[in-house]
Amino acid sequence: MNTEFIKILLVEDDPDSIQLLQDELMSGNGNIEYRLECVERLSTGIEYLNEESFDVILLDLQLPDSQGMDTLLEIQKITQDIPIIVLSNHDDESFAVKTVQMGAQDYLVKESVDRNILVRSIRYSIERHQMIKKLEQTREELQQIAHYDSLTGLSNRKLFYEQLDKLIERVRRENKIMAVMFLDLDNFKTVNDVHGHSVGDLLLQSVAKRITSCLRKNDIAARLGGDEFIIAFDTADSEENVAIAARRILEALSAVYVLSGQKLTISASIGISLYPKDGVDMDILIKNADAAMYSAKEHGGNNYKLFISDLYDKQMLRNSTFCKTAYEVYEQTRVNGGRKILIIEDDPDHADMILDIFDTEDVESEVVLMKDGQDVIDYLQETDSSARAVQSDIKGDNIRLSQIGLIILDLNLPKVNGMDVLKSLKKNSRYCSIPVVILSTSSDQDTISEAYRNGANGYVTKPISYDEFVEKIESLKSYWFMTSTLSGQN
């Protein structure tokens, strides 16, 4: 029969108690042999713990150099991996409960201790401690699965969003700037196709390590999925410092990789948005960085782009164009000889301005002049054919849905919440794929964020003066002239 050895550190200064415990432990114990090391002072016990390993600690809280709960706390500072059984002369239930709550595995009153009680307490304390360690390990593993990417070990989307939200709140309090970097590898699909997915996974792991090596202590990196990574760059002194960091990451990623005996290279495109210049809301910052990243790709990849005001609108239009329904709409309007812009606006002067600005040989603009914004919602709730015509109150013409390539919606419609009109447009199966640009007198960030959340593809604040209004609305032409190019891209 194999003998089990249990090594015990007894920290006790009372000779009678030491002798009692030794006698109980050294009596017949079957196949278990207890090896007891006795010390009289806490400081000596700590020295032993630093030099040797033990299976359990028997600890008197009243020692020459330490008294009370502080004794337990001092031992716990040295080790959390050894179960502790507290020994006391006082049969105090409330104090016993407190010691267990503070981390002790058991509490024994010395005068009540006999061999059976002591042996059982040691065995159960070791088993409970091992069970707690396994539970903690399982909890840590579940936390790892829930918050970290299993392939790269970086934060996953959920954890990154939590970390970014806290970071934004901190830089807001400190009145500083920070950056969000959206990174996408260039032509990563080719790596998988040519070298196989196992090499692709190794590459993603190497990319994650190189990104991490370029970051500072408080920067945050995450893998969103596939070959997409995102970085929260902690407080920065200037845009130039952020740009330097982006160049450093690009340089690190472009160096040769040796994976499974194969040499290969990869580049990346990075889009950058800055808080608070490009947004104060987490979702807006991420979307703007994403838009800037696509701009970097369109310029050949292996570079970075800082977000500029019209990039997000262009990228949202690009995404809409790639949707099957929108693509069919654009193709149909091209076949029909021209794409039209539907303008939902209650102010005739603003409507005329928009018409003048879009009045080119390439664009046919139609206006629905709404005297009551509810008319828009009522129309959208009808179930007629998608080819039915919308009546234009200004020109008296009909405009068919298949001819609409862009909708411009004024949020400040009478008798109805313009945001409700936007929601109705995006919920309507015939209109949901058509890009919608918002005009509004509000520059409130919450209103802008709400518009994007409800499906807006662009947002322009209407200035008061005519000249400023014209200057702003001119930027919307990019929506129009992009469509013919984007509908043909991959």
> Across 187-323, where does the E strand assignment appear?
220-225, 228-236, 257-259, 262-264, 267-275, 303-306
pLDDT at 418: 83
Q: CATH 3.30.70.270 residue ranges in the chain? A: 157-308
**What is the separation of C-alpha 250 from the centre of its chain, rounded to a whole number of angstroms?**
22
The pTM assigned to this predicted structure is 0.47
CATH class of 4-144: alpha beta
Contact between 331 and 274 (Cβ < 8 Å): no
283-287's contacts with Cβ under 8 Å and 24+ in sequence apart are 283/449, 283/452, 283/453, 284/445, 284/448, 284/449, 284/452, 285/164, 285/168, 285/180, 286/164, 286/180, 286/182, 286/230, 287/312, 287/452
Which of 412, 405, 474, 392 has its CA nearest to residue 436?
405
Give the separation between CA 234 and CA 236, rounded to whole angstroms: 6
pLDDT at position 29 is: 60
Provide the 8-state DSSP code for 2. Answer: P
pLDDT value at position 165? 93
Please identify, in words, the CATH class of the domain defined by 157-308.
alpha beta
Task: Return the pLDDT at 338.
Answer: 40
pLDDT at 484: 38
Distance separating alpha carbons of residues 283 and 79, to the nearest angstrom: 44
User: Where are the domain boundaries for CATH 3.40.50.2300 in the chain?
Assistant: 4-144, 318-486
Picking from 426, 480, 433, the residue whose alpha carbon sits closest to that of residue 453 is 426
One-letter amino acid of 265:
T
Number of Cβ within 10 Å of residue 360's Cβ equals 11
pLDDT in tens for each of the 490 residues of the chain? 577 889 999 999 999 888 888 888 876 566 788 888 999 999 999 999 999 999 999 999 999 999 999 999 999 988 888 999 999 988 899 999 999 999 899 999 988 888 888 888 998 998 888 888 888 888 877 777 778 999 999 999 999 999 999 999 999 888 889 999 999 999 999 999 999 999 999 999 999 999 999 999 899 999 998 999 999 998 877 888 899 999 999 999 999 999 998 899 999 999 999 998 888 889 989 999 998 998 899 888 999 999 875 444 444 434 433 233 333 333 343 333 345 667 777 766 666 666 665 554 455 555 445 555 555 656 555 533 333 444 434 333 444 555 666 777 888 877 778 888 888 878 776 677 777 888 887 777 788 888 888 888 777 776 544 455 555 555 554 444 444 344 444 4
Q: Which homologous superfamily is 318-486 in?
A: Response regulator (3.40.50.2300)
Per-residue confidence (pLDDT) for residue 146, from 0 to 100: 78
What pLDDT, on the 0 to 100 scale, is given for residue 400?
52
For residue 63, the model assigns a pLDDT of 93
